[in-house]
Amino acid sequence: MNNKLLNIENMVVVITGGTGHIGTEISKGLIKQKVKLNVISRNEESQRELLEFAKKEDLDSHLKLFIQDISNYNEVNLLIKDIISKNTKIDGLINNAYDNSLASRKTINNLDFENLKHEVGKSVLNDLHITKLVKENMMSNGGGSIIFTSSVFGFLSPNYKMYLDLGNQPSILTGFDKSSVIQAVKVLASEWGRYNIRVNSISPGFFPKKRGRDRPDYIEQLTSRIPLQRIGKPEELLGSYIFLLSQASSYLTGHNLIIDGGYSVW
C-alpha cells in the first residue's frame, strides 16, 4: 500500500474524551502522527499529562487542550467556532467522550426511571450536537471524516457469567447508548455522503482497566472467549482511527469497525 494513503500529518482533528482510558492512547498516537490535535475533555490533570507527553516528543505545537463539558451546548458552540477560526477547517472529528455515570452498572430492576427519563440518551445527543457543528465546516471544505466510538455492547448483550462477583458488567443503558451510536452512523453516512463526509464507528471489545486486571480469574473468563486469547491494549485501537481518518478509507462510510480480538465471531 502507498504509505501516503495513511498519512494524516497536519490534518486538523478534534477528539472528545481525549484523555480517558482509551482516549489518551488515541491522542498520543495522533500527536506522534503530527496531526493538529484539539483535545476536549474534563480532566485537567490528564490534560497536563498529555501535554508533558507531547513536550517530550517535541510535538507540543501540534496539541491544543480544552477543558470542556460537551453537554454545555452554548460553550461547545463557541469552542468549535474558536477551533475553526484558528485552523480555518476541521478534517476529522472523533466522538470518544462517554459519561457512564448514569449507567452505574445497574440492571433494569435497579434503575430509577423517574430520575433517568430526562437523561437517557444524553451522551448520544452530545455527540450529535458537536457532530452537527463540525459537519457545517466539513461541508464547506470538501468533506471530512467523523468517527464515533461505540462498543461491542452496541450489538451484543453481555454474558453475565463472565463478570463473576465484580459487578462491572455493562448496564442496559450502555447498550442503549452504544447501539444508538451505530445506528446514527448509518443514518448520517447516508445523509452526508453527497458532501464527501464519511461517518463511521469503532467498537472496541475488552480493554479492561486496572480493576479487571487485578483478577486473574476474570481475565481468564475473558480470554477463554477471545480467539486471540488475550485482552486488548488501548494502543491497539490507534491504527483503526488512523485508517478511518486517512485516505486509505476514502470509500468507507456507514461502517462499524469491530476491534475485539475476535470475541464477537462466536
In the numeric block, the cell 440492571 is attached to 107
Q: 3-state secondary structure string, the chain?
A: CCHHHHCCCCCEEEEECCCCCCHHHHHHHHHHCCCEEEEEECCHHHHHHHHHHHHHCCCHHHEEEEECCCCCHHHHHHHHHHHHHHHCCCCEEEECCCCCCCCCCCCHHHCCHHHHCCCCCHHHHHHHHHHHHHHHHHHHCCCEEEEEECCHHHCCCCCHHHHCCCCCCCCHHHHHHHHHHHHHHHHHHHHHHHHCEEEEEEEECCCCCHHHHCCHHHHHHHHCCCCCCCCCCHHHHHHHHHHHHCHHHCCCCCCEEEECCCHHHC
Domain ranges of the chain: 3-265
For 139-189, what is each residue's pLDDT tens digit? 999 999 999 999 999 999 999 899 998 888 888 888 999 999 999 999 999
Q: What is the CATH number of domain 3-265?
A: 3.40.50.720
Grid coordinates given for 200: 463511521
Provide the whole-model pTM. 0.94
Grid coordinates given for 258: 469491530
CA distance 227 to 206: 12
Calculate the alpha carbon distances from 74 to 8, 43, 111 in Å: 30, 20, 30
For 189-200, what is each residue's pLDDT tens digit? 999 999 999 999
Q: Are 112 and 166 in contact (CB under 8 A)?
A: no
Q: What is the pLDDT of residue 212?
A: 61
For 26-65, what is each residue's pLDDT tens digit? 999 999 999 999 999 999 999 999 999 999 999 999 999 9
CA distance 213 to 138: 41
